[in-house]
Structure 1
């Protein structure tokens, strides 16, 4: 039964934030569709009107005006009179073919997030991971069996690792080191960024053997075949290649605490004395108050049986247990945390 006091309280609280939260996925889907249809690439040559954009992208005239104006309202396009142009954010990161292009990452999230998050309620009541394809399992489904699917998947990851590699290249004093290994480095994109920025480094990538053909193709195309060595293996069964620095990006969040501790011990044995470990993930703040990081943790629980994000303080404890010293944390790209420690 609704009372006068209930109505008075409701009237005093603006429901706007609740409504925006309820339809937040609509804005994301507008972005995803704009990338898929090539809107930002079509505007890379200069402003265009609605009719020109329709012709270039295949937009239906009935949908075009609201769609383009919504993109403008979201800060991705700018409208002057009847002509549209890319806003600075889109021009910087959403024009295909540029070195800073993040459209691949946008497409990757579109492909991987919606199927799993649509089953969140089931996961919350059963505790079971909700795979992208329940019949095939795993975060990437059966993509490893289809080279073209796997290439598209890695292209999305590369869009992000380009920026991550550039950040790591500038954040770490690489002059103190002569070698590094990117653990779970996929087809070597982050490693390629680092050796490009620091030519004196000898680089390695350690990942599953099935990734080798994709690594060979990608690193060969980038011209770094003689700079980066691939080692195929299992983190927990095979020796991790020795190096001055070992990088763990988006690795620890895939395992439970016991496996994280075990892996850090194995990494400690592989880091040369005086070397460093670099760990980056969307780590949870120690007060567990950052909603975006907690949503990332929920995502890992959705797509894996044991994964989740973890607190910075917990990682510091695990690093100390493994034998590392002087852990230090710093924000990275506004979405991640980088923790470094010394052997």
Structure 2
């Protein structure tokens, strides 16, 4: 490398990413302490915050002002004379008292994923998951399904993360040639709800386990969509899929190994009529595997979380759908790293 070129190269990006867990843990801790919820739409003094959160004086101002520097808090004054408030962003998305709260997924990141990602090296060496089961603990979803309140919070948290994608999909996809849709693993029913609200001619079904269907039924009733959205109980591995013009799966395929992925794709094919659409909404990796870093890190998360799950590129999905009998596949971008892949029977 020429000397003039090396002078302009700095290690800044390497250090920023390598030490990125500092910023991540600072934000996740603030969410765990419910700092943004305590602040709400008001400003509180340093002393008020310290008392509400039960924090020691040592490190307090460093913690609070790091959040200011990171862009997650606003501040007037300094140290003992300071008052702090939420930014527009944290007020909207990290205040538990607002329906737009998305902190549930970040609470899970703090409580579960943060420690499990500490075993990434072991996962890469062994190819084995590093979540609760590997560590001799009770499986996360087994505990979750046994606690209705926690399950409701989890489903709502997942919906908060995906809602932008559901709205984008409901607006961008051309539903004019279709009348019915079934969302496999429909969770809280929110994908069906968005499709129904934005496409009044559509009749939708949300298909999931009985314990999850109870939550979906409440959500759909609350949104007054009972006439357009039906909740159907079932196990997508054991039961046949309901017949529909469109079969959707949002963040379902990446949980499973290749054999199970192909099984679910084949079941979707069988449930569709000629000309029907199978639509996968996930963080599909770009074919060159150079740009969608989030998709590839999500696949690493599947390595850590699941026995066989992984994310995949559009071309790999195209290969699997063609093998199942689908004639063509295309994609539309949604929000962030997410896209919808559309396979036509």
**Length-normalised TM-score, structure 1:** 0.86
Residues 105, 155 of structure 1: 8 Å contact kept:
no
Corresponding residue to 1:54 among 44, 50, 53: 50
Greater alpha carbon shift after TM alignment, 322-331 vs 175-184: 322-331
Aligned residue runs from structure 1 range 1-343, under 5 A: 14-81=10-77, 82-133=82-133, 134-136=135-137, 138=139, 140-290=141-291, 291-343=293-345
Residues 165, 338 of structure 2: 8 Å contact kept:
no
The 1:275/1:58 distance shift into structure 2, 3 A limit, reads: farther
Residues 283, 337 of structure 1: 8 Å contact kept:
yes
Structure 2 residue aligned with 1:3: none
Runs of at least 5 residues in structure 2 that lack an aligned partner in the other structure: none
Take 1:334 and 1:226, find their aligned partners in 2: how far apart are those partners?
32
Q: Give, in angstroms, the shift of residue 169 of structure 1.
A: 1.8
Runs of at least 5 residues in structure 1 that lack an aligned partner in the other structure: 1-8
Q: Partner of 1:84: helix, strand, or coil?
A: strand
**Length-normalised TM-score, structure 2:** 0.86
Instruction: Please give the per-residue CA displacement for 1:16-61, whole angstroms capped at 9, x wherever unaligned.
Output: 3333333212212222222233322333323343234334444444
The 1:178/1:192 distance shift into structure 2, 3 A limit, reads: same
Take 1:63 and 1:141, find their aligned partners in 2: how far apart are those partners?
38
Q: Give, in angstroms, the shift of residue 103 of structure 1.
A: 1.6
Take 1:330 and 1:59, find their aligned partners in 2: how far apart are those partners?
47
Take 1:136 and 1:42, find their aligned partners in 2: how far apart are those partners?
33
Greater alpha carbon shift after TM alignment, 305-314 vs 317-326: 317-326
The 1:299/1:141 distance shift into structure 2, 3 A limit, reads: farther
Query: How many residues get paired?
Result: 336
Take 1:69 and 1:171, find their aligned partners in 2: how far apart are those partners?
41
Residues 132, 140 of structure 1: 8 Å contact kept:
no
Q: Partner of 2:249: helix, strand, or coil?
A: strand
Q: Give, in angstroms, the shift of residue 300 of structure 1.
A: 0.5
Q: Partner of 1:306: helix, strand, or coil?
A: coil
Instruction: Please give the per-residue CA displacement for 1:90-128, whole angstroms capped at 9, x wherever unaligned.
Output: 234223343432122222322331232122222222222
The 1:76/1:212 distance shift into structure 2, 3 A limit, reads: same
Q: What is the RMSD of the two structures over their aligned residues, measured on CA atoms?
A: 2.7
Q: Partner of 2:58: helix, strand, or coil?
A: helix
